[in-house]
Chains A and B, each alone.
Chain A
Amino acid sequence: MGSNGGTGPTVATVTNSAKGYLVRRSTRLCLAVLLTALTLLAAGCGGGSADGPVKLTFWTWAPNMDKVVAVWNEKHPDIQVTVNKQDGGDPAVTKLLTAVKAGKGAPDIMQAEYQKIPTLVSAGALADISKDVPTSATGQFGTAELRAVDLGSKALYAVPQDTGPLAFFYRADVFQRLGIAVPTTWQQYAAAARQIHQADPTMYLGTFSANDAGWFAGLAQQAGASWWATKGQTWSVDIDSAATRKVADFWGGLVQEGVIDNKPMYTPAWNAALNDGKQVGWVSAVWAPGVLEGNAAKTKGLWQMAPLPQWGSTFTDGAWGGSATGVTTQSQHPEQAAQFATWLNTDPAALKALVSDAGIYPAAKSAQLTTPPAFFSNQSDFYEVAAKGRDAISPFTYGPNVNAAYNAYNDAFGQAADAKTQSAFGQALTQMQSTTLSNLKSSGFTTSQ
């Protein structure tokens, strides 16, 4: 190829002076970048002194957690906590599990969603901190949250931080305009969905999101399902139960009818639909105001929250989201880390900062919540509705392969939502059950069934 002096890389000599100048200049530029970088690298490698305060790292994805931690650091000069903001619950768990496998690299303190705790415990990532957390602290939490962090044993793997009771959020202005009463049962919810879609075919009361397994799990929890169970030394999977099937059939029916949308939540399209009033309801959890404020700022003051519609006469609820603060097995200072985790989730000053800065709905019942979130300033009973849900959350057991189950939900229900038939939803549930069970087996667990 290089038989002539074309402009290919086979150029033998640089005759063009402008080109030579450019090259020289870029060489110099490279050198400058290199030098700056080496200085930065050197600065980054500085270590702390041996006798200084105990230094703890904290992986969390809650916004503004550094502000809450600043309160602690000011009061505890001998235990200094550094926040490492994570991308969210899933990436943080992935990273922690990888660090545990490597034997190095885990933080001292870790925010973990309730459903991930069995996974983390079974991977040996979370330490038992039961002897470092006083009972006066654990006494502040409800049984559902405590059960999620002690896994039914005498151990304690984390201190509950927040909880996400489900509720029904709706555009009060649209409901009023169409003369629809706020649904208190799922039958009424279905009727309202039909009425709204009939009034305007581009409008939906909600969407079935195959992307949000946590959302579906919360709905199944409300209906009385519990997807995993232990008996002696064996695990069982009970995803395809009558309770979950009732929920799947309900949403499958509405999607088949076409009165509920079948597109995933948290997409730009969903945001646009919330903004321009095409999505006028959302079955979500107590943290919904923050999301609505961020995604549909223009609808401020138009939303209301109501208790979750019910299946039967006893009021029950499920949870979506909610997390706890754990101490990792790699921490060199588990005692101090547990002390911090306790403070963060039970101390009045910490709880106040959690609510106001991090926008969290604390699991501790001692938390004082009176002023509703800014986006719902028109609803004075916001936290009463929330507390009603929180106190009615049904018990639910998560297994050690929640990720595999949620992943199976994404794939199976993604297909079902696209097929838009009720029978496809039933098949998806069957598939989710079998995938989860076989994964549990192939992961080396003893299973029954």
Chain B
Amino acid sequence: MSRSAPYGFLAPAMVLFTATLALPILYSLYLSLRGVQVQGLGLGPGARQEVWVGLSNYRQSLSDPAFVHSVVRVVGYGVLLVPTMLGLALLFALLLDSRRSRGGGFARTAIFLPYAVPAVIASLLWGFLYLPDVSPVTDVLHGLGLPAPQLLSSRLVLFAVANIALWGGVGFNMVVLYTSLRAIPTELYEAARLDGAGEVSIAVRIKVPIVLPSLVMTLIFSLIATVQVFAEPTTLRPLTNNISTTWTPLMAVYRDAFTRDDIYSASATSVVIAAVTLVFSFGVLRAVGRRAFAER
């Protein structure tokens, strides 16, 4: 075996990783320390000059109240979404794995189906279902003599956005968990079953602890996705007064970069978000992960 062989296998990945991920990240770091100086009214040619500004972009982004609000909001969104999504995904996976449920094939496909719908299109569809004036929910509730809920009102809009992510994400996580459930050797709980243990107690006492590592991985991936929530609120924004253009941290980045044409502040904010995500997910992996993986 030649010593260069592993590098040969890794070369394409390394080259592409460097070109499409590492370089852009380094470039972002560079941009985050830069800024623009304008000469005069800034209307003549060459009136703009890029200059070093040190850490002032970081200071500005971290002290922007809109950004701070968006961080707080996303924490609330995560607390709402992640346990619900993973709880339902685990429930459905256990039900699919249980021998007492019927129609599993149909349910599995149906629940996984939303994964095929791009977030932009999913949000458009749900947007129609949320607006009382065009929603079938309104028609049904009016038929029952009930008032239609204002799902995009300031009180409920967080739930409305989380619901879209839930809808799109339950299926994927269910499949991940179901895959690990299927890999459990049946002997492990056949004995318990013969002892008269019910499906529920087998699920809680035997199955869940075994799939815990998978659950931790889905948790980490869900947390990363939570920090990056962007497409759903951006698509819903034009429908309501209650989603601002800096509703989530990534929306704030988008506003700076694309609306305000300030890639320098946007880069600084991005670096902060990426760093926090990194620390956060490695922290979770250490805290929860070690225990979960050690049990095996």
Contact = CB atoms under 8 A, between A and B. Distances in A.
Chain A–chain B contact at Cβ < 8 A: yes
Interface of A: 1-4, 6-10, 90, 94, 97, 101, 118-119, 121-124, 128, 151, 153, 210-211, 230, 233-235, 262-264, 266-269, 271-273, 278, 329, 400-401, 403-404, 407, 410-411, 414-415, 417-418, 439, 442-446
30 contacts: A3-B185, A6-B183, A8-B183, A94-B259, A97-B261, A101-B263, A121-B43, A123-B261, A151-B43, A230-B41, A263-B240, A263-B241, A264-B240, A267-B238, A268-B134, A269-B132, A269-B133, A278-B133, A400-B43, A401-B260, A410-B244, A410-B245, A415-B244, A418-B241, A444-B36, A444-B48, A445-B38, A445-B42, A446-B38, A446-B40
B179 to A, nearest CB: 5
A382 to B, nearest CB: 29
A267 B242 CA distance: 14
Given A2-B183, A4-B185, A101-B263, 4 more contacts: A8-B183, A210-B241, A272-B134, A404-B260
B145 interface: no
Contact of A414 (B43, B184, B244, B261): B244
Contact of A122 (B43, B60, B245): B43
B48 A268 contact: no
B30 interface: no
B242 A414 contact: yes
B85 to A, nearest CB: 22
Contacts of B290: none
Nearest to B187: A4
Interface string B220-248: 00000000000000000011111111100
B218 to A, nearest CB: 14
A216 to B, nearest CB: 14
B38 A443 contact: yes
Nearest to A211: B238
Given A269-B132, A269-B239, A122 B184 contact: no
Contacts, number: 127
Query: What's the dominant secondary structure at chain B's contact region?
Result: loop
Contact of A404 (B35, B241, B243, B259): B259
Nearest to A93: B261
Interface residues of B, number: 46
Given A235-B41, A269-B239, A444-B35, A124 B46 contact: yes
A264 B241 CA distance: 7
Q: Which of B46, B128, B239 has the most CB of A within 10 A?
A: B239
Contact of B261 (A230, A403, A415): A403
B290 to A, nearest CB: 17
Contact of B183 (A10, A121, A234): A10
Nearest to B127: A268
A403 B254 CA distance: 13
A108 B263 CA distance: 24
B261 A6 contact: no
A97 B256 CA distance: 13
A272 B183 CA distance: 51
Contacts of B246: 411
B45 interface: yes
B73 interface: no
A307 to B, nearest CB: 29
B180 interface: yes
A412 to B, nearest CB: 9
Given A230-B41, A267-B131, A269-B132, A123 B241 contact: no
A145 B182 CA distance: 69
B8 to A, nearest CB: 22
Interface in B124-139: 127-128, 131-134
A151 B47 CA distance: 15
B184 A94 contact: no
B128 A122 contact: no
A414 B246 CA distance: 12
Given A8-B182, A122-B43, A411 B131 contact: no
Contacts of B41: 122, 230, 233-235, 445
A7 B241 contact: no
